[in-house]
Structure 1
Amino acid sequence: MSNLVNVPKSGSLSNSNLNQNFPTLSNWLDDIFNRDLPSVFTSNFNTGITLPKVNIKETADAFIVEMAVPGLKKSDFHIDIDNQVLSISTKSKVENEQKEENYTRREFGYASFKRTFTLPESVNDDKINANYNDGILSIELPKKEEAKQKPIRSIKIS
Structure 2
Amino acid sequence: MSLIKFNGNKPAINGFSDVFESVFNDSFFSDRLIARVPAVNVAETADGYHIEMAAPGLSKEDFHIQLDRKLLTISVEKQQSEKSDRESYSRREFSYTSFVRSFALPDSADDSNIEASYANGILDIRVAKKEEAKQMTRRIEIS
Q: Tell me whether 1:53 sits opposite 2:39 in the alignment.
A: yes
- Preserved CA contact (<8 Å) 1:49 1:111: no
Aligned-residue CA RMSD in angstroms? 2.5
Which residue of the partner structure matches residue 18 of structure 1? none
Cα 1:110/1:75, change in 2 over 3 Å = same
Classify 1:125/1:74 alpha carbon distance in 2 versus 1 (closer, same or farther; 3 Å): same
1:93-104 equivalence runs, <5 A? 93-100=79-86, 103-104=87-88
- How far has the Cα of 1:44 moved from its partner? 6.5
Aligned counterpart, 1:146? 132
Task: Tell me which of the two structures has the higher relative contact order, counting C-alpha pairs closer than 8 angstroms and 6 or more residues apart.
Answer: 2
Instruction: Give the number of the structure whose alpha-carbon radius of gyration is greater.
Output: 1
Q: 2: CA distance between counterparts of 1:125 and 1:144?
A: 9
**Counterpart of 2:142?**
157
Specify the alignment match of 1:80 in structure 2: 66
User: Structure 1 residues 36 and 88, CA, compared in 2 at 3 Å: closer, same or farther?
Assistant: farther
- Counterpart residue identity of residue 154, structure 1: R
Cross-structure match for 2:109: 123
AA partner of residue 32 (structure 2): F
CA 36–116 in structure 1, closer or farther in 2 if over 3 Å, else same: farther
So what's the TM-score if we normalise by structure 1? 0.66
Listed as ranges, the matches of 1:10-49 within 5 Å are 36=5, 45=32
Residues 1:108 and 2:94 aligned together: yes
Q: 1:108 to 1:81 in 2, by over 3 A?
A: same
How far apart are the structure 1 equivalents of 2:132 and 2:5? Answer: 42
Partner of 2:16: none
Q: Matched residue of 2:61: which SS?
A: helix
- State TM-score, norm by structure 2: 0.72
Equivalent position amino acid for 2:71 in 1: V
Give the fraction of aligned pairs with identical amino acids, expressed as a percent: 45
Pick closer, same or farther for the CA change 1:83–1:92 going to 2, 3 Å: same
- How far is the alpha carbon of 1:96 from its aligned partner? 1.7
- In the TM superposition, residue 113 of structure 1 has moved relative to its aligned partner by 0.2
